[in-house]
Structure 1
Amino acid sequence: MNSLRKRGCFIQTFIQGSPKSLKLDSQMCLIIDGAALYYSLYYTSDPKLDQRCGGDYPGFKDEVCNFFKTLQDCEVTPYVFLDGGSGPEKREHLVSRLKHKLEKAKTVAETEPDAAPQGCNVLPPLVKDVFIEILKEKDIMFEQCLGEADPVIVSAANQKQCAVLSIDKDFYIFDLCKGFLHLDNFEWKSKEDEKIPAKLYTRSKFCEHFKLDPALMPVFASIAGNDYSRLKDNGTFANESSSPGEYSIKRLDGILRFLSKVNLHGLNDSQKRERALSQALNHVGKKENQTFKLAIQKYVQPEKKCLELPTWVSKKVERGEITTFVISVVDQKTMMLPALVEDFSQRSSYTAAYPIRQYFYGLLTGGQMCTEYDRDREEIKDKRVPSIGKQLQLEHLHKVLRLIMKYTLDLGNIPDQLKLPVCVTVFWFKRLQHHPKPETVHCLHALLLGFVKMKALKDAAIRRKWQPRVAHAFSQWLCCMRQSLHLNQLLCSPLPEPQCARLYCGPLLHRLADEDTIEEVQKTLRGEKKELYENLKTVCH
């Protein structure tokens, strides 16, 4: 992955010094890599959005809405594509990436917000759910893919004659007829005269500069390094480069210079790639390797992933009605639990939602075992999880959720939008009562006050030092909330889907989780808000 980033930096170094900034034309469509967009918007927002306290979802919603409002003002029609599941062939890579993200999460947890190393980012757990919620709310066209989104994006971009907006370096390599817009150079906040300053990368321009046959771009990508392959050349290519850059840049420059000198006369594109790969491998004393051929094919003919999923699962995933986690559970009986910013001296926050996941697995697998990948202290461990229940007919699913929660709650006085969050909060609070702590009660009241007057409290000048135990309690609530959202979707929403963006603002709730602050805010409640708060307390106690 590191070499992939270096390759992208190398290409960007060239393109940023070549074409002048262009204006994105109005009355056009734009294919957007959804995952790249929500990562970028969350990490590059100004002011910076919270990563340490579980996320700032109201703030994130504002950022996303502003982005799409800018496109609308410029008469640009967005088509958003989101990643689905990854195949078993990438499991080792995904576990390695999870380990790397775990290290980042621990750094974020133990570092003051302004002191975290550059690039040390961890996506809060509800960001993707909130992003999809906004797409639906704003009627923005989107599709959630069953596999990786890259092949679908390339196909759609060339079919619709659109440029692609992403941060994924693979789009430098794919043959995109209208080119690639990198999010780092897509200056949507600098809109002027209903146009957006941007920089467009085209493969032909790059190949022209390096005198490289375009057919060899996939060969360059496969030996330079990506998620699938990387040629270990022990410094051969770097030593042959005259570039003044650091080692990784010299290596990439050396690879390009070598490929540009391969004799391709009289060959078709397929034969060109075969000869170039063979000569590159021979040049560093390596034998032919099928791994490189498969990596090259990924760029030449990007193929959609074909999975044997039940039709109702496929359709609901594509429409964003159920989470893509169902794909790996149904297809591979696995669940990769994303890294969280939490108290690493305690057990994983995912433990709190363990019973909910067991029912989730049971409904999808018919009661089969499922393998989870989660942290054990600071290491990634895989463990076999027995599922609960069995696959049910769709017409019976609406009866299940409250059975799973094991509570008969009187939700008559609770607004529809808060019924699922209240069920989750009761479940979470009772799970934590096995190890009662005063801060758990404070977190409960902070959540309830947030439900009642999140918007009014958002800008309140309440200051309090970050506490690991409070962070961990909220992290456990977020795990329960997200898994319950996904279970509710799977059960055809027996409880109304809440507006996730309004449920949780980490910095605010961390400041609220204090006995004196809670009492101070309670005194400000009046009328309907006071009545709702009392109703919430009654249900939760």
Structure 2
Amino acid sequence: MGVLKLEDLIDQIPSLCEEVNIEKTGLIIDGAALYYSLYYTSDPKLDQRCGGDYPGFKDEVCNFFKTLQDCEVTPYVFLDGGLGSGKREHFVSHLKKKLEKAKSVAETELGCSVQKRYRPNVLPPLVRDVFIEILKEKGIEFKQCLGEADPEIFFAANQKQWPVLSIDTDFCIYDVDKGFLHLKHFEWKSKKDGKIPAKLYTRSKFCEHFKLDPALMPVFASIAGNDYSRLEDRGRFARESSSPGEYSIKRLDGMLNFLSKVNLDGLNDSQKRERALSEALNHVGKKENQTFKLAIQKYVQPEKKCFELPTWVSKKVERGELTTFVISVLDQKTMMLPALVEDFSQRSSYTAAYRIRQYFYGLLTGGQICTEYDRDGKEIKDKRVPSILLSSDEQKQLKLQRLHKAPEGLGRRVFEEALQVQTSALENIPDELKLPVCVTVFWFKRLQHHRKSETVHCLHALLLGFVFDQHGPEDEFERKMKALKDEGVNNWQPRVAHAFSQWQCCMRQSLHLNQLLCSPLPEPQCARLYCGPLLHRLADEDTIEELQKTLRGEKKELYDNLKTVCH
């Protein structure tokens, strides 16, 4: 994301940033950067090893937006959409790196010296869904873009004359009028007197320091290296730098120094960029390359990508009522399945939700084959997945163009068919638990061939978690559950982690199928459904028996109803 190592260069030169206090302003927020940052930098650190801590994440997100409100800062959040064209190799490479991180998180003992020295981060699977849920709940203005968010963030920031908050150093390259605030230096937890201390970066100050014509910033970005291009210079620019920094900083400094000396007399901005690129390539013995020109153009004229989507789909995606996975499936017939913390001696957790994804693809593509990227053992591989088509009459009624106008009850029947459940059995289950219970029944059937005792323990852990989620009056059950939650995990079990990882894969895909079918089942509150450390503590026979004895009244009745449905 952004220009390689540019953040390190800026950090090394304090004068490139201005220390400011943020108050009484608007703020354009890079949503993905924010939820990654809030999850990874939380203190105490939110769980990643047990599948995530969504209640803890919700607290962190709510505290962040409450701080903005206290400082009279108006947020407008933008979220990325589908995969950019021509970036598949980049995404596969990214998946491989995430796979290594997920393995590291799974295999590293909590609190050991390795983890303190290097703590890899892996985002739990439902974080984005929970984040969008919170934005809706809090009435925070946001837009889920159909393609990459960067161009829309840039346009909105200059239109509204607000600064951008992100971690993406591409916003150092774009000419953002009111500047760029890096999340790393946005000290919202140190708010004082209604002000948030931060560091503001502006492109003009950067160009002034390096004596660089602003028109050449896109050239610098394209040769320095990003998601699109990188000039292989075999260390030449670094050797020509007088910077005291490490190699990567010397390299950037050498490039900036070189570009500042290119003769640009009498040229317009476009000609300046052409000459500077040509001279930089010649300097290291490379020929003209279309890749660099395309990368430059991305910064000069950022464009929103156009997708041929039914209007109702576009609107629902933008409002966060439909997952952006629909865009990747419709546009490229592709689904990237992000790495998970799981038991790597078993098949990928995504296998559990394979059938649900086949229905998802069938509704979107009318029966075409899709390509999934997921781990096979310890490698990322692509796999061709056939869609599941409905009966011909249903398929006619459920064509994507008019899916939102399908007869009442048809969407529910498709959901039932995909998950092989009967929603009529959910009569005694609260509305907000109907979808999670369907998912749990589907998941439990899938796990029957695994070691039975562990599977049953995981099932009871989930059901007890659902009862706890209902927030009844504080009693012995509530107190014991809270105590277990506070204790954390001291005995992480790969098989238990894997079972819960499979449940989350089924949960996320069912959520997205339900959205596509225009919510035949009520949307659950995902933030309250899963707390990994608590569920790991609960997946133990003695603990389950002890908690079952404390259930009284409505809680016992709900637990019994949940057991009846699931068995």
Tell me the TM-score range normalised by the shorter chain: over 0.9
Question: Structure 2: which 5+ runs fail to align?
Answer: 472-477
* Compared CA separation, residues 370 and 89, structure 1 to 2 (3 A): same
CA–CA distance in structure 1, aligned partners of residues 85 and 301 of structure 2 = 20
2:532 aligned to which of 483, 488, 506: 506
The match for 2:7 is 8
2:63 aligned to which of 37, 62, 66: 66
CA–CA distance in structure 1, aligned partners of residues 249 and 331 of structure 2 = 40
CA–CA distance in structure 2, aligned partners of residues 222 and 282 of structure 1 = 15
**Deviation readout 1:305-332 (Å, 9 max, x if unpaired):** 1111122211111111110000010111
CA–CA distance in structure 2, aligned partners of residues 13 and 246 of structure 1 = 10
**Deviation readout 1:107-159 (Å, 9 max, x if unpaired):** 00000233435351000000000000000000100000000000000000000
The match for 1:22 is 20
CA contact (8 A) 1:125 1:482 kept: yes
Instruction: Please tell me the root mean square deviation across aligned C-alpha atoms, in Å.
Output: 1.4
Please say if 1:86 is aligned against 2:100: no
Per the alignment, in what secondary structure is the counterpart of residue 89 of structure 1?
coil
**Deviation readout 1:255-304 (Å, 9 max, x if unpaired):** 00000101111111111111111110111111111110100111111100
TM-score by length of 1: 0.97
The match for 1:44 is 41
1:403 aligned to which of 406, 411, 417: 417
- Write out aligned runs for 1:408-427 (5 A): 408-409=422-423, 410-427=425-442
Using the TM superposition, give the Cα deviation of residue 459 of structure 1 relative to its aligned residue in structure 2, in angstroms.
Answer: 4.1
**Deviation readout 1:425-479 (Å, 9 max, x if unpaired):** 0000001112343111000000000011146424435554000000000000000
The match for 1:491 is 517
- Write out aligned runs for 1:20-419 (5 A): 20-26=18-24, 28-115=25-112, 116=115, 117-390=117-390, 391=395, 392=398, 393-394=402-403, 395=406, 396-409=410-423, 410-419=425-434
CA contact (8 A) 2:82 2:147 kept: yes
Using the TM superposition, give the Cα deviation of residue 408 of structure 1 relative to its aligned residue in structure 2, in angstroms.
Answer: 1.9
Per the alignment, in what secondary structure is the counterpart of residue 427 of structure 2?
coil
CA–CA distance in structure 2, aligned partners of residues 248 and 458 of structure 1 = 48
TM-score by length of 2: 0.93
- Write out aligned runs for 1:387-536 (5 A): 387-390=387-390, 391=395, 392=398, 393-394=402-403, 395=406, 396-409=410-423, 410-454=425-469, 456=478, 457-460=481-484, 462=487, 464-536=490-562
Using the TM superposition, give the Cα deviation of residue 527 of structure 1 relative to its aligned residue in structure 2, in angstroms.
Answer: 1.4
CA–CA distance in structure 1, aligned partners of residues 482 and 555 of structure 2 = 16
CA–CA distance in structure 2, aligned partners of residues 321 and 458 of structure 1 = 32
Using the TM superposition, give the Cα deviation of residue 520 of structure 1 relative to its aligned residue in structure 2, in angstroms.
Answer: 1.2
Give, as a single letter, the amino acid of the residue that structure 2 aligns with 1:444.
L
CA–CA distance in structure 2, aligned partners of residues 299 and 88 of structure 1 = 16
Per the alignment, in what secondary structure is the counterpart of residue 380 of structure 1?
strand
Per the alignment, in what secondary structure is the counterpart of residue 48 of structure 2?
coil
CA–CA distance in structure 2, aligned partners of residues 258 and 298 of structure 1 = 22
CA–CA distance in structure 2, aligned partners of residues 198 and 523 of structure 1 = 52
Aligned pairs, number? 538
Between 42-51 and 304-313, the greater mean CA deviation after superposition: 304-313
Give, as a single letter, the amino acid of the residue that structure 1 aligns with 2:419.
M
CA contact (8 A) 1:373 1:382 kept: yes
Between 208-217 and 308-317, the greater mean CA deviation after superposition: 308-317
Per the alignment, in what secondary structure is the counterpart of residue 27 of structure 2?
strand
Give, as a single letter, the amino acid of the residue that structure 2 aligns with 1:450.
G
Give, as a single letter, the amino acid of the residue that structure 2 aligns with 1:10.
L
Using the TM superposition, give the Cα deviation of residue 18 of structure 1 relative to its aligned residue in structure 2, in angstroms.
Answer: 4.7
CA contact (8 A) 2:3 2:225 kept: yes
CA–CA distance in structure 2, aligned partners of residues 244 and 204 of structure 1 = 24
Give, as a single letter, the amino acid of the residue that structure 1 aligns with 2:10.
I
